[in-house]
Every structure is written in structure tokens, then in C-alpha cells.
């Protein structure tokens, strides 16, 4: 239950912070940290919450945008990056980058709590 | 104690944020900040535009005098309806920025030598070139002139600038155009100076070829000697069909340019070994930067009303140079192609008339050699005395590095582009100053501002009289039945060959002796033949009292093709004009193929070569998409050229200019024993055209067999026309387009160059107009409108323009969106 709340809360706060274009793209690192401090979990579960929250958020947003765009831009970017033009690979990369950083942020949060 | 894991994971997290927030180097270029770039709420995903985006919007702006309605049609073409002219230009600026902001920023960066600032030291050669050429200097001259003397244009530019900046100001960082995110920089405020810089770039693109060509021609003359040079690079064009028909009598000139007495010894034949190469230059402007335009009078059309056609040939890029729009205010109603970066419509029509432009190609750029007193370059020798220079400092900011400062000595001629600080190993000690009409003050876009409002022939004459650089052929057709064409610009009154090569700059004897008065520029109105036309050929035959410039600047054959069509056509409809504008007939090959066949010794050919010759002779002379004959013809012709003058040019370590194709063709047609045909490397044998054509065909066959193996014999596969994104990134470009045409063809589409805008205007009571450009209205690579016209363009098809009053347009079925601009 705790993990579910943590995931939902992290994702929501990350999304909310992301609405403001003037805030840095990594604002979710801070919000994840706060959620992890507020909802104490064991290190692994904390990491997992952050990982899944941001992973789902970034994956979901990317898929939603990409569907609406008929892959026009994703296929171009996936050629520049280079991912052989695969929009699926690009969404996977987006998801992984977000998830990894999200997980690490929440992990750090859990250690803050534990180190007190 | 869990402090250790805390520290470890904190460091790891911060480290990862830092890494993902840094531009990493991938190969030679820098990657975007990956975390930022991939973030769906900040990065490139935000630019992936919804297929069915609703462009409706309400914009409130303090700067507006009244409300402005913009209706946008299904091709994303905006139709602006404003109560005040200034409001219309404010909105034009806003829309240019909304759809093309990055391109506007990038193009003016190139023009002003500021690429290094965003892309690093790699771009320094380009930046230094444009700075030393005086691009910023020229823009400053025009800006100062307009601020001091032209309140109308100043107001117009200020309104346009305010519109661009109003868009930039409201832009959420997450919605920055894609390329800013990719290259990791942000737009800066627009200024009128940027518009002048953009216009300087057009001047460079259309007249700056001399910056390279004059050096190459000088080198070529030095290598060959003037006498041989004058044979291979002759200015005599046997097949010339000029813009002003042959036999026209020209008025007595007001300036009679006098060739300096010493010009033979100290200029034409002065072949001291001077050696420049073009290593330090960016890509020179395309030689085929040209265009077609023509107008037919009512006597030749089915409706009895004139039809005007215009297709400017320029480098093909995405986002396109052009942005289509309608501007309607109480003073005028105009439709056509505009430049993102500049107010007004550049090529188009209004409710009284239509106009179009082609490049004049006249030489308005010269180099003068300077003698400095010493290495300080504070004084230079001129007319028997040491004169002081002034110094112009150009500071180039370089990303991740220190500034580079260009300290340019200004002379009476202009900026000293080449000196000890800017050269290559072969050019030591040479100082070259540039004199270029683009450096003098201009009236900016006033010509187009006035054309947008012109009602008749007199208004047109007045509007174009304000035009200075780059010289253009302005074609006109009016609803009242007039057609006309005039070559207009600030043209130098030259003596023959003046400025083809670097000129001595130590005194005034080689100076320009005047600017040709406007009323002596070539013009023709309502000729008996019922049409006017231009396709970059020389404006006049040699009886015109002024020298136009080296023949290599003027392609001949497209003009012949255009005039042939127009002469034979009658009862013309806009559909006929569409067919003509996309015509692929090769008028050069029509003459060159029989010439080749006349000299060809079939019995001496290999079987493979015979097969290729067969392909060429069966060809229908059309450069169509799937034609193999044109590929075979082209390779054979190039090989024969190589066989004929490869020997004369061989052995030069510096790049030389290749003679023009017409020179060889004219000689093949009139002098079968032309001495140049001999291969001077074979001492025991004298070759003639027969030997060289046969040799050329055999050499070509080797290449053609390879092409056949690669399956690249079909013309469009061989030519591989592409429209490159301004960064040249293939992923953002359109490659291998199925389109015919080529050099010398009315459909002048080459590898990366061609009709950048096609327009046909039928001047009926309610104007009937068609056209398109190879791009799309949106500059965003993530938009379906990014390249939405490309396939239609390649297929040679057209869109009918919606040119209507506000109420009619509002109700038109093709109108989709409404942008309301409201005064605050």
C-alpha cells in the first residue's frame, strides 16, 4: 500500500513541477526526495517507487505525445541520437533515463530518513 | 549508521543529474543535454505537434493600434486582415516567429558571423569569412541610412520587430523550437538590424559568387596566360537570346567607361603568380542561383488577360526560405511568398498586379590589391601618397573558448578582406580590399513594401527604382493588360573585363567610373511578341553600352527554352503555364547531342560504349524522373569536356574555373579544327574533336557501367535531389526526391538547388493564382506541416491560392482556424 501511494504521489508531484517550463527538467529529483522522506520505506522499495513513478510518467507522456504525432518527430530524433529510427527505442530510452534518476532520488530520500 | 549510503546515493544522483544536464561530445559534434532533451515536459517531445492541432488563439498585445483577424487555411497559410498597416506587420512578425523562429535566428547568425558563439570553434572559418567580407558593416550602413532618412521603413521595421519580440516574450521555455533544444541555446530579441543582416545574406547569395569567382578567374588567367584564357573563357555567346530582344537600339550612355591605358600591362596580362584557393571560404553561393520569370500579354492567352509566372531558383532547404501569406489592410491586399525575417511580401500579387524576380547576375563585387606601408596596416598607398586606414574591430565570441578579434583595415575601396592575418600559405603578402555595392546604403525592403501597394506600371517603376542590391529582373503584369520587365539594381558602369580579375588598387585608374543611371537599365514594356521573360541570361546583346560581367555568370540555355515555348504558345491557360514551369526539355542537349554524334567514330567504339551511345540517341531529350538517356548524355558530355580541356588545366595545384559548356558547344558547331581540342601532353600527335569525342565516350562508358551496376542510371536516382535542413542533418531533411529537371532546364531542379517557389498568376477580375514551395508552413520538424508541400512540388502539381476578402475567406470551406489579435 505504502509503495503504491509513494508511486502515485511521486508521479503527481513530478508532473506538477514539470508544468512550469521555467523550473529545471530535473525538478522531479527534489519532489521524489521529499516524497521518499515523507513516506519512509526500505531502501529497495523506495528506489522502486521512484523508478516506477518517473518511469511510468515519462513513458506514459512520451507514448501519448508520440501517438498524437504519428511518430513524425520521434522517428527523426531516433535517427539523430542514433537509435536506428526506432521510436520504440527512443521511448524506452526516455523511460529508462527518467526512471533511473527518479529511483536514485527516492533512494537518497530514504537514506535521509534512515540516517536520522 | 546509514550516512555512508546516503552520501553515496546523493553523489550518484547529483552526478547523474549533472551528466544528463551537460552537452556531451559525440564524434565531432555536441549532443544535446540528454536529460533535458528527453524530458517529456521540457525537451523535444514538447515539439511533437499533435496531428490535428487546433491553431485557434487569442493574443493580446499592447503594441497594436486595433484588432487584427488572422484566418488560417488548411495548408496553414495565414490571411491577415488588419485596420492599420503597422498592425499587419506586427502580426506578420509574430507569425514568422511563431512558425519560423529558429530559422530566423540561425540565418542571421550565419550572415553576421556568429555561429561560433553557439557551435564552437569549428565554425570560425565561416564566421571570419562573413565578418571580413563586411556583412555586418553593410547592414550597419543601411540601418543608419533608414534611421536617418526613411521614417516609413523605420516604422514598418519597428512594428515587425515588435511582433517578433512579442512572440518571443510569451514563449514558455518548454515550447522553444526544436533546434534550440538540440543545439542548446536560446533565442535573443529580434532587432531591425537582423532584418538588414538577412538582406545582406540575400545579397551575398545572389551577388557574392564573385568573392570566390574573381580569385579563381584570376588564378586561371595567371595559369593559362590571358590570350589562352580569353579563348576558353570567352564572353562571346553565339546562341544568346537576351532578355531585351536582339537588335533593340539603346540610348546613348551617359557614362562612357574608359579602359585605363595601362590595363593591358598592369591588369589583363599582369600574370604574376598569385595563388589563392578557397580552403578558407564557406561554400560559395551556387552558380545556378537564378530563376525564371515571364509574363504573357492578353493577346496570347485564352482569357485575354495577362498571366505572370515566377520561380526563383535557390538552394533548397528546410525550413524553407519562403513563408506564404496574405496581408490585407485598407491600403492594400497582397498575397505571396514572404521572407521570415523581413516585413512585406517579396514575390506575389495584389488586387491590381503581379510581380516576380530573377537574379540579374551582374558583377557588382570587385577585389583591389592594397599596398600597406607596414605591418600595422595603418597606411596604404593610393594616388601617390600614404593614406590612413581606419580599423574596424569585429569580435567573434566562441563557445567554450576565448574571443577571436578581426581587426579589419578599411580603405577607400572597402574592407581589406585578405591580409597577413587572413590568408592561406600561398597568399602571403597579398592584401585585397573588397568593393561591393551591398556595402553601400540601401532602402531595405522598401521596393517590396511599395510593390505590395502598387496599382499600375508607374507605381511598379517607382517601387523598383528604389532597389539597389542584389540586382534583379523585375517582371510585371497588370489587370489592365500591361506586361513589362526591367533589370534593376545599382550597377557599375564597367569597361570590358573590368573586375573579372583582381584589380590594382594603388591608384584610382581602375576605380568604378560611375553607377549606371536607373533609366539606362534594360527595360521592355508590352513588346509586339506578346511576352517578356528572363532566365538569368545576359540582359542584352553586346550593343548595350555597358559591360555586364563575365559570361560565366550568365546561364544561356534556360532562356532559350523559355522564349521558344512562349513564342510558339497561344491561347495560353494557367494550366499550360504549369506544364511549362515544370517542363523538363533539355534544349542544351538538343544542340549538343547532334554535335557529339557528328564527331563520334562509331566503328572505333567498344560494344559497351555503343550500347551507351544507343541509349543516348534513343533518348527523348527530356530530363524526366526515370530517363536513363539524360544520365548517359551528361556523363558523356562531361567526359568530352574533360578530354578537350583537361590537358590545358592539368598540372595546376590551385583550383581553376572550368570553362563554360557553351564555349565547347559553339566551337564544335563552327570550327571542327579548333586548336584547343589537341591534347598538348601528346607531343607526337595532334588530336581533334573526333578523337576527343570518341575518347570521351569510352571514358564515360566506364563510369556509366559502374552506375548501371549500382542501379543509379535513372536520372532521379543519379541526381538524388535533396532538401537539406539548415543544419544539414539528414534526419531532418528530405532525401532522394523523385523529380526530374536539372541545369539548363526550365524545371531547374539539381541535386540541392531549384525552384524554391513556383507561382502562376492569372490577372482576371478575381485573380486566379497557383503555386507552392518545396517545404511547409511550419518550421518545426515535429509538425505535419514541416514538409507538407514537398511531394506535391516534386510531382509538379500546384495549389490554388485562396486570395479573398475577409468575409468570403471566413466562410470558405478551406478556412480552418482563427487567430484573434486584440489591442490591450
Of B2, B45, B175, the CB nearest to A62: B45
- Of A32-41, B416-425, B547-556, B801-810, the range with the lowest mean pLDDT is B416-425
H or E element in which residue B609 lies = helix B607-617
Structural domain containing residue A30:
2-115
- Residue B100 to chain A, least CA–CA distance (Å): 17
Determine contact, residues B343/B92, Cβ cutoff 8 Å.
yes
Q: Which residues in chain B (772-811) have CB-CB distances under 8 A to chain A?
A: 781-784, 786
Determine contact, residues B243/B533, Cβ cutoff 8 Å.
yes
Mean pLDDT of B785-792: 98
- What distance in Å separates the CA atoms of residue B344 and residue B332, rounded to the nearest whole number? 11
Mean pLDDT of B765-777: 98
Mapping DSSP to helix (H, G, I), strand (E, B) and coil, where does residue B427 land? helix
Report cis status (omega within 30 of 0) of the bond before B319: yes
For residue B5, which residues of chain A lie inside 8 Å, CB to CB? 43, 111
pLDDT recorded at residue B280: 58
The answer for B701, left when phi > 0, alpha when psi is -120 to 50, beta otherwise, is: alpha
Three-class DSSP labels, B528-597:
CCCEEEECCCCCCCCCCCCCCCCHHHCCCHHHHHHHHHHHHCCCECHHHHHHHHCCCECHHHHHHHHHHH
Mean pLDDT of B300-323: 97
| DSSP secondary structure of B640-704 | HHHHHHHHHHTT-SS--PPPPHHHHHHHHHH-TT-GGGS-TT-TT----HHHHHHHHHHHHHHHH
- Residue B786 to chain A, least CA–CA distance (Å): 10
Mapping DSSP to helix (H, G, I), strand (E, B) and coil, where does residue B18 land? helix
Topology of the domain covering B587-719: 1.10.1400
What is the DSSP pairing of strand B432-436 with strand B365-369?
Answer: antiparallel
Residues B341-388: pLDDT tens digits?
999 999 999 999 999 999 999 999 999 999 999 999 999 999 999 999
- What distance in Å separates the CA atoms of residue B364 and residue B437, rounded to the nearest whole number? 6
Beta-strand (E) ranges in B87-175?
Answer: none
Of A22, A58, A107, the CB nearest to B9: A107
- Of B280-284, B431-435, B462-466, B693-697, the range with the lowest mean pLDDT is B280-284
pLDDT recorded at residue B426: 38
Residues B25-81: pLDDT tens digits?
766 677 899 999 999 999 999 999 999 999 999 999 999 999 999 999 999 999 999
Cβ count within 10 A of residue B603: 7
Residue B655 has pLDDT above 60, yes or no: yes
Residues B425-443: pLDDT tens digits?
434 458 999 999 999 989 8
Residues of chain A under the 50 pLDDT cut: none
- What distance in Å separates the CA atoms of residue B112 and residue B280, rounded to the nearest whole number? 17
Residue B708 in grid coordinates = 548501371
Domain coordinates in residue numbering, chain B: 587-719
Determine contact, residues B551/B521, Cβ cutoff 8 Å.
no
> Chain B residue with minimal CA distance to A25?
B36
- A15–chain B Cβ distance below 8 A for any pair: yes
Q: Is B287 exposed, middle or buried (0-12, 13-18, 19+ CB in 10 A)?
A: middle
Mean pLDDT of B740-763: 96
Report cis status (omega within 30 of 0) of the bond before A82: yes
- What distance in Å separates the CA atoms of residue B559 and residue B533, rounded to the nearest whole number? 8
**Cβ A101–B17 below 8 Å, yes or no?**
yes
Residue identified by cell 539523430 is A80
- B10–chain A Cβ distance below 8 A for any pair: yes
- Residue A5 to chain B, least CA–CA distance (Å): 23
- What distance in Å separates the CA atoms of residue B229 and residue B414, rounded to the nearest whole number? 29
CB within 8 Å of B504: residues ≥ 6 apart: B266, B267, B270, B368, B369, B510
**Cβ B50–A72 below 8 Å, yes or no?**
no
- A96–chain B Cβ distance below 8 A for any pair: no
Mean pLDDT of B319-325: 98
For residue B42, which residues of chain A lie inside 8 Å, CB to CB? 18, 21, 25
**Cβ A111–B1 below 8 Å, yes or no?**
no
Confidence of residue B264 (pLDDT cuts 50, 70, 90): confident
pTM: 0.96
Residue B501 has pLDDT above 80, yes or no: yes
Residue B565 in grid coordinates = 515555348
- What distance in Å separates the CA atoms of residue B408 and residue B416, rounded to the nearest whole number? 6
CB within 8 Å of B577: residues ≥ 6 apart: B307, B309, B760
3-state helix, strand, coil in chain B (%, to 5): 40, 20, 40
**Cβ A79–B17 below 8 Å, yes or no?**
no
Nearest to B47 by CA among A81, A19, A72: A72
Give the total number of structural domains in chain A. Answer: 1
Q: What are the φ/ψ torsions at residue B337 (nearest 5 degrees)?
A: -100, 130
Q: What are the φ/ψ torsions at residue A48 (nearest 5 degrees)?
A: -60, -45
Q: How many CA atoms lie within 13 A of B731 on its CB side?
A: 19
pLDDT recorded at residue B262: 85
Mean pLDDT of B710-735: 96
Of A18, A29, A101, the CB nearest to B41: A18
Q: Which residues in chain B (715-734) have CB-CB distances under 8 A to chain A?
A: 729-732
Residue B79 in grid coordinates = 490571411
Residue B273 has pLDDT above 70, yes or no: no
The DSSP bridge partners found for residue B585 are B622
CB within 8 Å of B807: residues ≥ 6 apart: none
ipTM summary value:
0.97
**Cβ B175–A111 below 8 Å, yes or no?**
no
Q: What are B655-659's contacts with CB under 8 Å, separation 24+?
A: B655/B216, B655/B219, B655/B277, B655/B278, B656/B216, B656/B219, B656/B220, B656/B223, B657/B213, B657/B216, B657/B217, B657/B220, B657/B233, B657/B552, B659/B232, B659/B233
- A42–chain B Cβ distance below 8 A for any pair: no
> Chain A residue with minimal CA distance to B2?
A115
For residue A108, which residues of chain B lie inside 8 Å, CB to CB? 6, 9-10, 13
Q: What is the mean pLDDT of chain B?
A: 94
Residues B92-142: pLDDT tens digits?
999 999 999 999 999 999 999 999 999 999 999 999 999 999 999 999 999
**Cβ B13–A66 below 8 Å, yes or no?**
no
| DSSP secondary structure of B152-216 | HHHHHHHHHHHHHHHHHHH--GGGS-HHHHHHT-------HHHHHHHHHHHHHHHHTTHHHHHHH
**Cβ A104–B13 below 8 Å, yes or no?**
yes
pLDDT recorded at residue B277: 47
Residue B47 in grid coordinates = 515539439
CA angle B463, B465, B468 (to 5 degrees): 110
Of A25, A80, A107, the CB nearest to B39: A25
- What distance in Å separates the CA atoms of residue B430 and residue B690, rounded to the nearest whole number? 44
Amino acid at each position: 500500500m505504502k509503495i503504491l501511494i509513494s508511486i502515485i504521489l511521486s508521479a503527481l508531484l513530478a508532473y506538477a513541477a514539470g508544468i512550469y517550463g521555467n523550473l529545471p527538467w530535473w525538478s522531479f529529483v527534489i519532489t521524489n526526495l521529499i516524497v521518499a522522506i515523507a513516506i519512509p520505506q526500505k531502501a529497495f522499495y523506495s528506489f522502486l517507487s521512484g523508478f516506477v513513478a518517473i518511469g511510468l510518467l515519462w513513458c506514459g507522456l512520451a507514448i501519448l505525445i508520440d501517438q498524437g504525432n504519428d511518430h513524425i518527430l520521434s522517428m527523426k530524433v531516433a535517427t539523430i541520437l542514433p537509435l536506428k529510427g526506432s521510436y520504440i527505442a527512443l521511448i524506452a530510452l526516455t523511460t529508462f533515463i527518467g526512471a533511473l534518476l527518479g529511483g536514485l532520488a527516492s533512494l537518497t530520500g530514504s537514506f535521509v530518513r534512515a540516517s536520522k | 549508521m546509514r550516512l555512508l549510503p546516503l552520501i553515496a546515493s546523493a553523489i550518484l544522483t547529483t552526478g547523474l543529474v549533472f551528466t544528463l544536464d551537460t552537452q556531451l561530445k559525440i564524434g565531432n559534434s555536441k549532443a544535446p543535454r540528454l536529460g533535458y532533451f528527453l524530458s517529456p515536459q521540457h525537451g523535444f517531445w514538447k515539439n511533437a505537434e499533435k496531428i490535428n492541432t487546433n491553431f485557434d488563439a487569442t493574443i493580446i498585445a499592447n503594441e497594436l493600434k486595433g484588432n487584427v483577424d488572422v484566418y488560417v487555411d488548411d495548408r496553414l497559410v495565414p490571411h491577415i486582415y488588419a485596420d492599420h498597416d503597422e498592425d499587419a506587420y506586427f502580426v506578420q512578425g509574430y507569425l514568422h516567429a511563431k512558425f519560423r523562429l529558429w530559422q530566423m535566428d540561425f540565418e542571421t547568425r550565419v550572415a553576421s558571423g556568429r555561429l561560433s558563439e553557439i557551435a564552437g570553434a569549428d565554425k570560425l572559418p565561416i564566421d571570419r569569412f562573413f565578418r571580413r567580407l563586411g556583412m555586418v558593416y553593410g547592414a550597419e550602413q543601411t540601418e543608419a541610412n533608414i534611421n536617418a532618412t526613411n521614417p516609413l521603413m523605420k516604422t514598418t521595421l519597428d512594428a515587425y520587430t515588435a511582433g517578433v519580440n512579442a512572440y518571443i516574450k510569451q514563449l514558455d521555455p518548454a515550447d522553444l523550437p526544436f533546434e534550440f533544444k538540440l543545439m542548446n541555446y536560446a533565442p535573443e530579441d529580434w532587432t531591425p538590424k537582423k532584418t538588414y543582416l538577412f538582406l545582406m545574406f540575400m545579397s551575398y547569395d545572389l551577388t557574392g559568387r564573385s568573392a570566390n569567382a574573381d580569385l579563381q578567374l584570376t588564378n586561371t588567367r595567371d595559369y593559362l596566360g590571358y590570350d589562352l584564357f580569353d579563348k576558353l573563357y570567352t564572353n562571346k555567346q553565339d546562341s544568346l537570346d537576351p532578355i531585351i530582344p536582339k537588335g533593340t537600339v539603346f540610348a546613348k550612355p551617359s557614362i562612357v567607361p574608359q579602359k585605363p591605358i595601362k590595363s593591358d600591362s598592369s591588369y589583363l596580362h599582369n600574370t604574376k603568380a598569385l595563388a589563392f584557393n578557397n580552403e578558407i571560404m564557406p561554400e560559395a553561393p551556387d552558380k545556378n542561383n537564378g530563376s525564371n520569370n515571364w509574363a504573357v500579354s492578353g493577346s496570347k492567352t485564352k482569357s485575354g488577360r495577362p498571366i505572370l509566372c515566377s520561380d526563383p531558383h535557390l538552394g533548397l532547404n528546410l525550413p524553407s526560405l519562403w513563408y506564404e501569406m496574405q496581408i490585407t489592410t485598407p491600403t492594400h491586399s497582397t498575397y505571396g511568398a514572404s521572407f521570415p525575417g523581413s516585413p512585406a511580401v517579396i514575390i506575389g500579387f495584389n488586387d491590381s498586379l503581379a510581380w516576380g524576380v530573377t537574379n540579374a547576375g551582374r558583377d557588382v563585387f570587385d577585389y583591389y590589391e592594397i599596398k600597406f606601408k607596414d605591418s600595422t596596416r595603418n597606411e596604404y598607398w593610393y594616388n601617390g601618397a600614404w593614406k590612413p586606414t581606419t580599423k574596424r574591430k569585429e569580435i567573434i565570441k566562441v563557445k567554450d573558448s576565448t574571443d577571436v578579434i578581426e581587426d579589419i583595415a578599411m580603405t577607400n575601396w572597402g574592407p581589406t578582406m585578405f591580409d597577413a592575418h587572413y590568408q592561406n600559405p600561398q597568399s602571403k603578402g597579398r592584401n585585397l580590399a573588397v568593393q561591393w555595392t551591398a556595402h553601400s546604403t540601401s532602402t531595405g525592403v522598401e521596393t517590396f513594401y511599395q510593390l505590395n501597394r502598387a496599382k499600375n506600371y508607374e507605381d511598379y517603376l517607382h517601387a523598383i527604382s528604389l532597389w539597389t542590391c542584389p540586382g534583379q529582373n523585375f517582371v510585371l503584369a497588370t489587370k489592365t493588360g500591361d506586361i513589362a520587365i526591367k533589370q534593376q539594381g545599382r550597377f557599375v558602369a564597367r569597361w570590358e573585363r573590368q573586375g573579372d580579375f583582381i584589380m590594382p588598387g594603388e591608384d584610382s585608374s581602375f576605380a568604378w567610373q560611375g553607377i549606371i543611371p536607373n533609366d539606362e537599365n534594360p527595360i521592355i514594356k508590352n513588346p509586339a511578341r506578346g511576352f517578356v521573360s528572363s532566365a538569368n541570361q545576359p540582359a542584352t546583346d553586346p550593343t548595350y553600352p555597358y559591360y555586364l560581367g563575365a559570361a560565366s555568370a550568365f546561364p544561356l540555355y534556360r532562356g532559350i527554352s523559355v522564349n521558344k515555348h512562349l513564342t510558339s504558345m497561344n491561347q495560353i491557360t494557367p494550366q499550360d503555364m504549369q506544364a511549362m514551369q515544370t517542363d523538363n526539355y533539355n534544349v542544351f542537349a538538343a544542340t549538343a547531342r547532334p554535335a557529339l554524334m557528328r564527331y563520334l567514330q562509331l566503328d572505333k567504339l567498344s560494344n559497351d560504349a555503343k550500347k551507351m551511345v544507343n541509349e543516348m540517341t534513343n533518348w527523348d531529350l527530356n530530363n524526366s524522373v526515370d530517363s536513363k538517356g539524360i544520365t548517359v548524355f551528361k556523363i558523356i558530355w562531361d567526359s568530352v569536356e574533360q578530354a578537350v580541356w583537361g590537358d590545358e588545366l592539368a598540372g595546376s595545384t590551385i583550383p581553376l574555373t572550368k570553362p563554360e559548356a557553351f564555349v565547347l558547344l559553339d566551337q564544335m558547331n563552327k570550327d571542327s579544327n579548333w586548336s584547343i581540342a589537341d591534347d598538348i601532353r601528346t607531343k607526337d600527335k595532334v588530336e581533334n574533336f573526333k578523337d576527343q569525342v570518341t575518347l570521351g565516350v569510352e571514358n564515360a562508358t566506364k563510369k556509366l557501367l559502374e552506375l548501371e551496376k549500382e542501379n543509379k542510371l535513372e536520372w532521379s536516382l543519379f541526381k538524388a535531389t535533396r532538401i537539406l535542413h539548415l543544419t544539414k542533418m539528414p534526419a531532418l531533411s528530405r532525401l532522394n526526391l523523385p523529380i526530374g529537371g536539372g541545369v539548363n532546364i526550365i524545371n531547374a531542379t539539381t541535386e540541392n538547388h531549384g525552384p524554391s517557389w513556383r507561382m502562376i498568376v492569372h490577372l482576371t477580375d478575381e485573380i486566379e493564382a497557383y503555386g507552392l514551395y518545396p517545404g511547409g508552413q511550419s518550421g518545426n520538424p515535429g509538425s505535419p506541416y514541416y514538409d507538407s508541400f514537398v511531394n506535391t512540388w516534386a510531382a509538379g502539381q500546384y495549389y490554388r491560392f485562396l486570395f479573398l476578402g475577409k468575409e468570403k475567406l471566413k466562410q470558405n470551406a478551406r478556412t480552418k482556424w482563427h487567430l484573434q489579435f486584440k489591442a490591450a
